[in-house]
Structure 1
């Protein structure tokens, strides 16, 4: 059977849609090219001066890694010139990223985390780019506004991530299932390697940073205790797996099943919603999860139904197999959430 590359796959699926437009396919192709460029730098990071910190602090108050900065610049540069984007938002930038004067714009907005898990770069652990695409809401003849970016996740028209590790793999959805493509370096193409991904209904792994146990509320502690019990619904304790790179932990959960949790904690009263960003992390991964028959919640609400109020809004995230996520919801409801 002939191998299918990502462009062929996109064109085939777009032909099936009465809303198919060349702008959308061009946007995704420009994203794919950006991923190839970033992958090239990641694979030779130890050989050139792209490891370590830049000395700058990003909008999240975190030190910026050199590869973070490089990846952010690649995405902004390429997508600003694609002619299909009216505005962007990055985890590394405080406000809206506008398209430079003189470049054409389009009907879409792009939100991204340029290099998730970058604290693990020097340890050679999987890192990745997470992305989310929406159609703009304001008239196309007007400048883009926050209204175009602050949309509920349910409005996404595409989302996914590119994982840089032992191989480079892109997982994405355009609203009709989830597909994985692996970069073949011999031909420089992403080839369809994981068609129609479905997360298992029940898994055997829970993923959470248990070093923060003392900062959790009673509901979260009961959730983790449940997964360790012998007499839980699967009649066996779950295995604990935590990489500390969201995109890598989610990718494992998507393929093997189980649940990933990053709950709220009480360490910082200014950040009662935990660490993860709704727009650049939780929404795109939740869209992928639901398209793969999984679930995603903040413990009470469906992630994709949350109305964002700020570009860098944070949210608790429980995501994975439906039976595990529903069990977490049940325990949270029992505690009055």
Structure 2
């Protein structure tokens, strides 16, 4: 059984950038993930649970574990000679690691991260996760990091993945050569390959959407929900929704289903963040044989305009996403 490090070394030909940089990057990811795993698993026994009483840059209530996860991943990235810039969903501005820019090595990574996705579920012991997205530094201004390094299209990602903290802790990632999942053995602190070559099943079973927003949805979305509920051609589909993007996506990529967080009358630009959530999950979706869209165009082709830009988001098997886009085109 491969460890994560062994798998990277064995499959070095499937990655076009520096193997050393990739190993260093995942060393920092593993270190931070294990620290968050440990804290999440004892959250009910510590004071590190519940709201911090503060709001983040998104105007949302910040949980104590949000701040812990943010600090843990930032500190871990700073300790490696590979990351030169970080943007977090919990920070207003991007963070520059000066020494990495002044002394660049072969590969310099730009990391965008949602340190703790689904944190509103912490208090009720539901699966939560970390989402990360990685780009190469552009080197457009004498090695000086600028906002443009972070506002790259999703199709420029070189690594994307997530960690899910659930019944077990798993790290799932892609470098553009398939999607692979590794499960943490907490007794020895090692991630082992448990889910090689993950792809969406041929038979779709699930649709995931917050039906509580039904009256705020557009006609196209409402029509598609009714389509999912019809008893015809392997339907009705089963409705499953956790409220944690990582949890919902992980279930759907394993069992087969579509995830939807469309625009609403309250959030006409959508609610999920393009850079921290949608781009990395879209990269994983396409590598698993699926499709990711905002309802009108490919997520990975959207040019970001700001760090905390929001967008409608749909991802899942090609057939289901194509069908939803048909409804949107017809009824909107």
TM-score normalised according to structure 1 size: 0.94
Counterpart of 1:300?
296
Give CA deviations for 1:11-48 in whole Å, capped at 9, x if unaligned.
Answer: 12224545434122211221111111111111111111
Counterpart of 2:44?
46
| Counterpart Cα distance in 2 of 1:82 and 1:222 | 49
Counterpart of 2:22?
24
Q: How does 1:24-173 map to 2 (within 5 A)?
A: 24-99=22-97, 107-139=108-140, 141-173=142-174
TM-score normalised according to structure 2 size: 0.95
Give CA deviations for 1:108-144 in whole Å, capped at 9, x if unaligned.
Answer: 1000000000000010000000000001112484221
What is the aligned-residue RMSD (CA, Å)? Answer: 1.6
Give CA deviations for 1:214-272 in whole Å, capped at 9, x if unaligned.
Answer: 111111111111101123xx2421111111111100000110111010000011xxx42
**Structure 1 runs not aligned, ≥5 long:** none
Aligned structure 1 segments of 4 or more residues deviating by more than 6 angstroms: none
Counterpart of 1:318?
314
| Counterpart Cα distance in 1 of 2:307 and 2:198 | 30
| Count of paired positions | 329
Matched, 1:201 2:202: yes
| Counterpart Cα distance in 2 of 1:235 and 1:188 | 42
SS of 1:46's equivalent in the other structure is: helix
Q: Is the 8 A contact 2:81 2:100 kept in 1?
A: no
| Distance apart, 1:183 and its partner CA | 0.3
Q: Is the 8 A contact 2:205 2:256 kept in 1?
A: yes
| Distance apart, 1:52 and its partner CA | 1.2
Q: Is the 8 A contact 1:202 1:324 kept in 2?
A: no
| Counterpart Cα distance in 1 of 2:203 and 2:279 | 22
Counterpart of 1:177?
178
SS of 2:251's equivalent in the other structure is: helix
